[in-house]
């Protein structure tokens, strides 16, 4: 049965965790992430078209290969969150969290009473009835991973309140949308954008909240490591695959 206890325990032990954004939804690729050694993957359903059947197969493949798979959802809609968790996802990544209320809604949708308002169902998440419902509820409330993305100025303003909430496991930066929100277009490396990202990390550190960085240059990667950053997202698989294809093709064409 899929739970994210491994991910939570690594963060609790202050182990550095490494993840990747899955923008090419495929069970095979999810298995490859596991065998490549990633600690977690984030399957994107905000910007990527994916059927419920493919989502279920990706979650199952990740679970069977021992990879905690978090599903990125577009907002705090409780129906969407319940669906991906009922399918067996280890947790959620909620995009564009811009207020304390939205953060609270995401928690409520992810947890069963008395913590939240998530509705109970049988099926794969309960081992098809082999786990008593109350035992499952207790496990799910303890182990379901809740990650919130801060991607705009409003989210930055609300962050000090958000990181004080119980049941939030990690904050993930979203530099590109943050840059757009601040009026810098796609200049994710603009000094002001990077200052906001580092302020985000500092607020998290001051409140013992794990922060996940997305380094975009070797210099940023080294800097985040030196600061003791607890979590990294390598980037998205789609761009990496495309870049590798291009490089390999060019190398072949230029072979004399």
**Which sequence positions are flagged as catalytic?**
47
CA dist 166 and 45 (Å) reads 25
Phi, psi angles (nearest 5°) of residue 73? -110, 155
3 state SS of 42:
strand
3 state SS of 32:
helix
Inter-CA distances, 76 with 94, 107, 108, 123, Å? 7, 9, 9, 23
Inter-CA distances, 21 with 25, 38, 41, 210, Å? 10, 11, 6, 18
Inter-CA distances, 214 with 2, 46, 107, Å? 26, 18, 24
Instruction: Calculate the CA 141 to chain-centre distance.
Output: 18
CA dist 95 and 93 (Å) reads 6
Return the number of other C-beta atoms located less than 10 Å from residue 53's C-beta: 8
- Residue 125 gets which letter from DSSP? G
């Amino acid at each position: 049965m899929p739970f994210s206890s491994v991910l939570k325990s690594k963060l609790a032990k202050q182990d550095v965790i490494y993840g990747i954004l899955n923008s090419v939804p495929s069970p095979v690729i999810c298995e490859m992430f596991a065998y490549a050694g990633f600690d977690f993957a984030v399957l994107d359903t905000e910007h990527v078209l994916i059927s419920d059947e493919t989502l279920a197969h990706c979650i199952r493949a990740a679970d069977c290969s021992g990879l905690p798979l978090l599903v990125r959802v577009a907002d705090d809609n409780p129906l969407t969150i319940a669906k991906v968790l009922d399918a067996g996802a280890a947790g959620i990544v909620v995009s564009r969290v811009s207020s304390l209320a939205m953060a609270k809604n995401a928690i409520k949708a992810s947890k069963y009473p008395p913590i939240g308002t998530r509705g109970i169902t049988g099926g794969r998440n309960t081992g098809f009835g082999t786990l008593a419902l109350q035992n499952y509820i207790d496990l799910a409330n303890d182990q379901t991973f809740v990650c919130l993305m801060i991607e705009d100025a409003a989210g930055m303003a609300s962050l000090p309140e958000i990181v004080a909430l119980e049941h939030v496991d990690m904050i993930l930066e979203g530099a590109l949308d943050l840059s757009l929100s601040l009026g810098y277009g796609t200049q994710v490396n603009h000094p002001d954008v990077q200052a906001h990202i580092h302020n985000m990390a500092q607020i998290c550190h001051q409140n013992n909240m794990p922060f996940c960085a997305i380094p975009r240059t070797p210099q940023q990667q080294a800097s985040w490591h030196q600061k003791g950053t607890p979590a990294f997202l390598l980037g998205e698989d789609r761009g990496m695959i495309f870049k590798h294809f291009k490089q390999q093709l060019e190398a072949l064409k230029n072979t004399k």
